[in-house]
Structures are given as structure tokens and as C-alpha cells.
Structure 1
Amino acid sequence: MIDRRSAILGSLAVGLSASGDAQTPPPAQVGGRWPRQPDPTETIDLWPAGAPGAPRNLPVEIVEDRATGAAATDRAVHGIARPRMVVFRPAKPNGSAVLVMPGGGYVRIVVDREGYEIARRLADRGWTVFVLFYRLPGDGWAAGPDVALSDAQRAMRLIRARASTYGIKSDRVAAMGFSAGGHVCGDLATRFAQPTYTPIDAADRSSARPDVAALMYAVQSMTLPLAHPGSRALLLGASPTPALENAHSTASNVTSATPPCLLVHAEDDRSVVVENTLAFRAAAIKAGVAVETHLFATGGHGFGLSRAVGKPVALWPTLFEEWARAQGLG
């Protein structure tokens, strides 16, 4: 449910000037609550002429602040009509970039906890970070269960095509996803070459394959009982066939071309059970893909950064940084 603190950003053209180069702004503040650090202002629209396969009635972007009391901002965005990346530029670029895909059960995009928090940390360490606001499969886009993958592929290609602009190396681009965003990330890592849209410009000649992928408490399986029921229903519908489930279960799509992967999960996760990560790990090992796995006894689901404080699982960002460095990034 969207509460009274929600803000409707309005029509498709909100925030756009008369210039054809204008980009859709980041999600707005709501309820008078402001983040502890300033939001970025630089964005990149993925599709200059509008996202392909739009439904007759475009979704309306709504920003919800789910925080209570004096808690830090905890925004979620529903109804992405203009998929885009929000850019975090480091003061001293280290030459590496990461595309971050927040979760939200395929019903929303979790802005702060699984997007901006990790983006600020990594930018402080020299990474150029792109937080992806991808379209949601329940909003009626023609690409159906591939709609978020289309946005992730396009985002990776744009990052590589503009590498020189951001002071990054085109062979040092990571992907990171959380929960349902981890499914998008796993899809990208395994199906990066799958044609999901018609190329529109020179950027689409770039590879969509991430150089490494970090899957955080990720939705992986679309087959019950491992599947996260809500994500499965929104992605595939109420009664998907076994063939459709298998086609969108990331472990089923791992090949030797899948990039090195880092997997992080808490064993007490009751929303996305840890067996999702174990299934992906087994598939990666079978395919000869380099995979590093960190399982924590406690942490629950959706710990991100702020909810991990004071727990052993709070080590995960350092583990990512060290692992990425060993892979030649960072």
C-alpha cells in the first residue's frame, strides 16, 4: 500500500526541459524527510526515444518513504516509466564502475537501502557507481519477464560506450544486485547476450556482459518451493509452466561464459531462502565459473548496509571490495 507520505511525480515528461538532451531527474524527496547525505543529480535515460514496448497506459512513478520516526530515509519507487541510471561520481576515480540493481520484489525499486547507501560507500572508494531504476514486469511492458533484463543490458552497454567520459575502463565494469535486483543481476550475468530488444544506436554494439557480478541475497529460482512467491508471480504470472520457470531460473542459465560471481546470503533469510544461492553456486562450479560464496548464520533478508550494522554480515562490503580487487577491479 502507498501511504499518505507518497509523492506522485506525474506524467512521462515530468522534469524534462525543452532540450532533447534533458534527462529524467532522480526520484523526489517525500514527506519532508531528507537523506543524511545529498542525493546525486546526474542521471542517464536508457532509451532516448522512450522505453520500447510501452503499455497503452504508462505507469505513473510514485515515491514512497517507508521509514518511521526519526529513521533514515527509506524510499521505494513504483511504476518506472522512464528507466534510467543515477550516477555517483567519485572524487578520485579508480577506473572501475559498478551497475547496482536494487531489489523490491519486482513490485518496487528500493532506492536508499539497496541503492544509494552502497553507491555512496563505493564512490568514496573510487568506484563510479550507476544505480539502475529498471522497469517492473507487472506494469504491462511488451518484453514481459525480460523487461528488467532489457534495461540492465542497455545500461551495461551505455556504461561501456561512455567509459572515457567517466574515467573508467570498459573491461572493469561490475554488476551488483540485491534480492529481486539480484535476479536481474543473475539474469544479466547468465543471459547478457540474449536478444531482448532491437538495437537503437552505436552503444548497443558494446557487450552487456559484466566483468564480475555480486549477487546479494538474490532471488534465483522461479520453481517452488525455492522461489520467492511474490517475485515469481510478478515476473511469470500466477501459473507459469515448468518450462517458463526453468527459463527464468538463473542457475539453469549458467555457462562457461558467465563472469566470476560473488554470492552473499544469510542462512536465516525467511524471504529468499539460502538454497537459491546454493543452487547458483552449484551451477557455477559445474560450469567452471569462478565463484566465491559467503554465508552468514544471521542477517535476515534485505540487510543492505544500514541493517547490517553491528552484525557479522556487516563485513560484506569489505569482502566485495577485496574480492573485486583480486579480480582486477577496484
Structure 2
Amino acid sequence: MRSDRRSLLCAGLVLSGTLAGRAVAQTAPPSASGALPPGLPQPTETIDLWPRGAPGMPATPPQEVTTERSSDRLITDRAVSGISIPRMAVFRPDRPNGAAVLICPGGGYRHVVVDKEGYEMGRWLSARGFTVFVLFYRLPGDGWAAGPSVSLSDAQRGLRLIRHRSSEFAIDPERVAVMGFSAGGHLCADLATRFADTVYEAQDEADSLSAKPFCAAPIYPVISMVDGVAHPGSKELLLGSNPSQALVEAHSPDMNVPDDAPPFFLLHAEDDDVVPVENSLRLRASLKARGVAVETHLFEYGGHGFGLRKAIGKPVGIWPNLWLSWAKTKGFA
């Protein structure tokens, strides 16, 4: 018995050291210089995606830079570029409801928005019981070997890691959703349609798990790479200046909907002057054609990139609660 207790104690110390080592090894969330607004909680817990470093590093590794774009000291609007250590910032709820959401912020594939489509949504969701993982994914214009699929590599890996470590967060490994905004909406839709594609070599046991999300919510998303519908900046950074038709089709989620795609929640403002509403309409048509469940909300006004902060006072401001009500009908929330 004494020997058993000693073994248990040693095992506990080893586990403690392992977990501590894991915590220490993680890369801090993106941060810009300057004071943060008082009373606004910032994430301190992160998960690095790749245990041996991100695969396919370019000859000249990108240098991560976080830029503060807000002139209001009480409202942050950070954007991070040059991501070489992709990771997830974690928002843990006080009372987990057993469901997790992987958030893909936008940024036109030029950078990844931190606050408006990342942390603000993380706080909103975690206050309602969801465990949230904000994804800071690699950008295709930085020269990674995976090319246009590099961001999808990070999204697949992130979702698998959430499932693999679900017991640490008191979540059901099946109930992992994805939500994305603008170019992050493209990544969200890409993950929810190409979850079974092999876009990187397996790293560990986590990669034996499915990357299929329980449900998907692309919000004012970039979808089509077809000229006249595509967001020009996102398309060029993703596919280059003169992509082949095959490349356009491979990276247009509306052209890659499988029969077993998860349920979708689509939302767009019809006066969006950056990403035409046609993007969401094309995806909806493809989902309907495949018999995939889809709920669609179109608003007359809202523009682009409203997130939470720019939707206040407008009819589109109800969108998070529309998503929440829909998620409950799907057995997610």
C-alpha cells in the first residue's frame, strides 16, 4: 500500500510537471504596445497548434507584428500579421455548458483581427457557457509550403486539438462548432466543407480525430473565388494574381459542399460593400442542393465587418441571439 501511495504521488508530480511544462511552453496571445482598457478581460491561456513548430516554414520566416488601429483608449482594435506560431486563445466560462466554439476572425487574409471578431465574440460566448478558442492562423501570403491551404491546416489542427483535449475543458468532444467572419468566414466554410481533406501530415494522436465541426456559422463570409463575386484582396492573397480555374474551384467552398456537411448558419447584410451578399447566397444554394441544413438571415443594412460593436442599435444587432436560438434547435447549445 505504501508503495502504491508512493507511485501515485510520483505520478501526480510527473503529471503536474507535464501540465506546467505545457502551460509554460505556450506562446502568449498577440499583444500591441500601450495600455489596455481597464476592466476588459484579456485571455492569458493559449494553445500552440504544432508541437514541433508549424510545418512548411518559408525560407524567411514571417515576423509577427500586432498593430493597434483604434484611436480610442477605451476600445481596442488590434490586428496581427506575420503569424509564425499559430495558436488559439482560450476563453473559459465560469459554468461550462459542454460545448466549444472555434472562432476564425477576419482580416482579408492580410492579417487576423484580434478584438472585433475575436476576443469580443469570445467574451460574449463564454458568458453564455461556451468554451471559446480564438484561432490565430497562418496567412497564405507569407510563403508557407501549404500555399492556399495553410489556413485550413491550422483550422483542422485546431479543431482536432480541441477534441483531443476536451476533458481538460469539460466539453463534449462532439460538440465543437466553428464560427468565422469575412475572410475568417471563408476559413470557417472551408473547414466545414473540406474537413476530410488531407492538407498536412499527421503530427500525433490528435490527428486521428475528425476535423468536422458540429455546426458552422460563416458571418458576412468571403466564399466564392470567382471574379465579380470574390473579395479581390482575399482572393489575391489566397490564390495569387492569376490563379487557374482549378485553383478557384478548389478554394470556393460553395463548389465543395459534401453530402455530409454539418448544419450551417449564414448571415449577411445586403448593403455589404466589401464582400457582396452573393457570397452567402451561393453557399446557401449549394447547401440546399446537397440537402444540407442551412438557416439564412439577410439584413437590409449593416455593411461589412460589424461584429458585435458595429451592430449595436441596428436590426442586425440581434444576430448573436439568432445564432444562439438556432444552435439550441440543433442540440448544440
Q: TM-score, normalised by structure 2?
A: 0.92
2:72 aligned with 1:69 = yes
Corresponding letter in the other structure for 1:281: R
Unaligned runs of 5+ residues in structure 2 are: 1-19
Distance 1:35 1:218 in 2: 32
Trace 1:245-284 onto structure 2 (pairs within 5 A): 245-284=248-287
Q: What do residues 52-89 of structure 1 show as CA deviations (whole Å, max 9, x unaligned)?
A: 00001111110101112345000000110000000000
- C-alpha contact 1:217 1:302 (8 A) present in aligned 2: yes
2:217 aligned with 1:222 = no
Corresponding letter in the other structure for 2:69: R
Structure 1 residues 224 and 319, CA gap change in structure 2 (3 angstroms): same
> Higher helix fraction: Structure 1 or Structure 2?
2
Corresponding letter in the other structure for 1:43: T
Distance 2:175 2:38 in 1: 30
- C-alpha contact 1:35 1:72 (8 A) present in aligned 2: no
Structure 1 residues 225 and 62, CA gap change in structure 2 (3 angstroms): same
Structure 1 residues 292 and 35, CA gap change in structure 2 (3 angstroms): farther
Larger Rg: 2
How many residue pairs get matched?
A: 314
Structure 1 residues 235 and 164, CA gap change in structure 2 (3 angstroms): same
The corresponding residue for 2:103 is 100
The corresponding residue for 2:189 is 186
2:328 pairs with one of 317, 320, 325? 325
2:164 aligned with 1:161 = yes
Q: Which runs of 4+ in 1 moved over 4 A?
A: 17-21
Q: What is the Cα deviation at residue 98 of structure 1?
A: 0.3
The corresponding residue for 2:58 is 55
- C-alpha contact 1:53 1:141 (8 A) present in aligned 2: yes
Root mean square deviation of aligned Cα: 1.4
The corresponding residue for 1:120 is 123
Unaligned runs of 5+ residues in structure 1 are: 1-16
Q: What do residues 107-138 of structure 1 show as CA deviations (whole Å, max 9, x unaligned)?
A: 00000000000110100000000000000000
- C-alpha contact 2:37 2:73 (8 A) present in aligned 1: no
2:322 aligned with 1:298 = no
Distance 1:36 1:87 in 2: 18
2:84 aligned with 1:81 = yes
Distance 2:23 2:118 in 1: 27
- C-alpha contact 2:270 2:303 (8 A) present in aligned 1: yes
